[in-house]
Amino acid sequence: MEQQQQQHWPSRLAHLTLITALAGATATAAVVGGIVVAELRTGLDETLTAEQQLTAELAEAERGQVLVKVSTVDAEKVIADLREQLASYEGFLE
């Protein structure tokens, strides 16, 4: 019986080692995985922030573009009006 118990010790030690290793691996996986996931989330947040900024800038640029186009159309109308006035014979000798 005692001999039988003495034969079980190495097996228990191996099991404990295995359990410890598994526990360590689990903890390591959890920590490393958590860090990787956290970094990825940060990266994702930054990308999303950049996307928002770009969306806002694009909207601003497009608004500016529209305003410039409207102003250009107005200026062209003014030019057409001035051209008409310049082409006038009013007050000229016949």
Partner 1 sequence: MSFRSVSVALLAAAVTVTAGCAVTAGVISSDISAAEARVAVLETRLHAAEATAAGATSALDDAEAKAASMRLVLDERPAFVDAVAKAEKALKVAGKLDVKADRAKVLAAQEKVRAETLDPEVVKTATRDVLAVAKSVNARVAEEKKRAAARTPAGVLAEFRATLDAIGGEWVNVTFFDGWCGGKKVNGCNFSATDIRITKALGNERPSVRRWVAYHELAHSYQRLVWSDIYTSPVFKSLFRSNIELLANCMAYSQGSPREGHHCSDRQIRWAANIYDGRVPKKG
Q: Dmax of the chain from CA atoms?
A: 140
CA Rg, the chain, in Å? Answer: 40
Does 93 bind partner 1 (CB under 8 A)? Our answer is yes
Q: Could you tell me the smallest distance in angstroms from the CB atom of residue 22 to partner 1?
A: 4
Residues 29-58 that bind partner 1 (CB under 8 A): 29-30, 32-34, 36-37, 40-41, 43-44, 47-48, 50-51, 54-55, 57-58
Provide the token pair at 5: 């118990």
Taking the CA atoms of residue 24, residue 30, residue 35 and residue 36 in that order, the dihedral angle to the nearest 10 degrees is 110
Query: Which CA distances in Å does 85 have to 77, 88, 89?
Result: 12, 5, 9
Residue ranges binding partner 1 (CB under 8 A):
12, 15-16, 18-19, 22-23, 25-26, 29-30, 32-34, 36-37, 40-41, 43-44, 47-48, 50-51, 54-55, 57-58, 61-62, 64-65, 68-69, 71-72, 75-76, 78-79, 82-83, 85-87, 89-93
